[in-house]
């Protein structure tokens, strides 16, 4: 079980790193836009024009949310399969059965919490941006 937790933490760390590296240019471009509009130079002054098709903060946030949601979904499915395997191989031992049921319950609760978090974040992003 400790090995599984270590693998999950490693995967989350790698995922966060990839997302951070991927979204850094978009966030830098967004900061540049805010600075340019703040000084009134958005009308085309040198160095303040943004190329067409550059990612917006909203698109970066949506991408991050989708990646994290996909990761949570994959981990939850793996945990559900793992709980089912533990339930089937419990051999009638009540402690193993209850442990498998708890794992299943926590995996389903994790999916529900992740789905609600995604809905809340999307609502906040659409209201702010």
Instruction: Summarize pLDDT for 28-47 with one digit per residue, the tens.
Output: 455 556 666 655 544 554 55
Q: What is the mean pLDDT of the chain?
A: 75
Poorest-pLDDT segment among 25-34, 91-100, 108-117:
25-34
pLDDT at 103: 92
- The yes-or-no verdict on residue 58 having pLDDT over 80 is no
Distance CA 128, CA 123 (A): 9
Tokens coding 14: 């790698």
Structure confidence at residue 51 as a pLDDT band (50, 70, 90)? low
| Residue range(s) defining the domain that contains residue 97 | 2-128
- Long-range contacts at 58-62 (CB < 8 A, ≥ 24 apart): 58/125, 58/129, 59/26, 60/23, 60/26, 60/27, 60/30, 61/121, 61/125, 61/129, 62/122, 62/125
Reported pTM: 0.54
| Local structure of 62: helix, strand or coil | helix
80: Cβ contacts below 8 Å, ≥ 6 apart: 104, 107, 108
pLDDT at 74: 87
The domain total for the chain is 1
Structure confidence at residue 85 as a pLDDT band (50, 70, 90)? very high
């Amino acid at each position: 079980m400790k090995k599984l937790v270590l693998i999950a933490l490693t995967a989350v760390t790698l995922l966060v790193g990839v997302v951070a590296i991927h979204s850094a240019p978009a966030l830098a471009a967004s900061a540049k836009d805010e600075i340019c509009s703040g000084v009134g130079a958005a009308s085309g002054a040198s160095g303040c024009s943004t190329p067409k098709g550059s990612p917006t903060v909203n698109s970066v946030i949506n991408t991050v949310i989708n990646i994290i949601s996909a990761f949570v979904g994959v981990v939850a499915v793996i945990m559900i399969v793992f709980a089912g395997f533990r339930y089937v191989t419990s051999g009638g031992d009540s402690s193993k059965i209850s442990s498998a049921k708890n794992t299943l319950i926590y995996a389903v609760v994790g999916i529900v919490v992740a789905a609600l978090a995604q809905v809340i974040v999307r609502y906040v992003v659409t209201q702010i941006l």
